[in-house]
Amino acid sequence: MSKHFAIITLVACVLVTACMNTPKPLTDTQKTDIEKQVLEQWGKITAAVEKADAGTYSSFLSDYGFLGMYSQGTHFASKTQYADSVKSWFSGRASSELKQKEIKVSVLAGDLALLDQKCLFIAHMKDGSSGRCNHVVSFVFRKEAGSWMIIHGHESWKDL
């Protein structure tokens, strides 16, 4: 009987200790550092969009935790489905410009951040035409193996 009591007590102590180990809130310095890292990654992603480089753009999508993307009301449930669509969309473009960018990064945890951007998006097509729209995007980034990767997103636009 005392053996069972000792085991139950040990298990109870482990469970109580585990429940009490909540992560410490991030400091302002930690949040600023995460914001800087996400913005650096976003700069690389934006450069791929401006060059209409679908392969590089898609390389920033998580291999391990991609949750999906919503683009102008269309749901892309897998990384492959979304990457294939990006490749198709970028195939007719020569380049793009993102102007009047307003960007906000919200740090959610030590390994999660939300990036919101509003901009004027100008697509220059290979046939010489161009299109302009007001474009908004929200991406959830997760830090994986030292890099901030996109795990979920939403974008919408209104043609001008």
pLDDT tens for 35-52 read 999 999 999 999 999 999
Domain borders along the chain are 27-159
pTM of the model: 0.85
Indicate whether 82 pLDDT > 50: yes
Strand locations in 12-129, DSSP E? 68-71, 74-76, 93-109, 112-125
As assigned by CATH, the class of the 27-159 domain is alpha beta
pLDDT of the residue at 6 = 46
Read off the pLDDT band of 19 (50, 70, 90).
low
| 1: its two tokens | 């009987």
Strand partners, 120: 99, 134
Q: Give me Rg for the CA atoms of the chain.
A: 21
Indicate whether 111 pLDDT > 90: yes
Indicate whether 1 pLDDT > 70: no
Question: Residue 35: exposed, middle, or buried by beta-carbon count in 10 A (0-12, 13-18, 19+)?
Answer: middle
3's CB contacts (< 8 A; 6+ apart) are: none
DSSP letters of 83-108?
HHHHHHHHHTEEEEEEEEEEEEEEEE
Cα gap 92→95, rounded to integer Å: 9
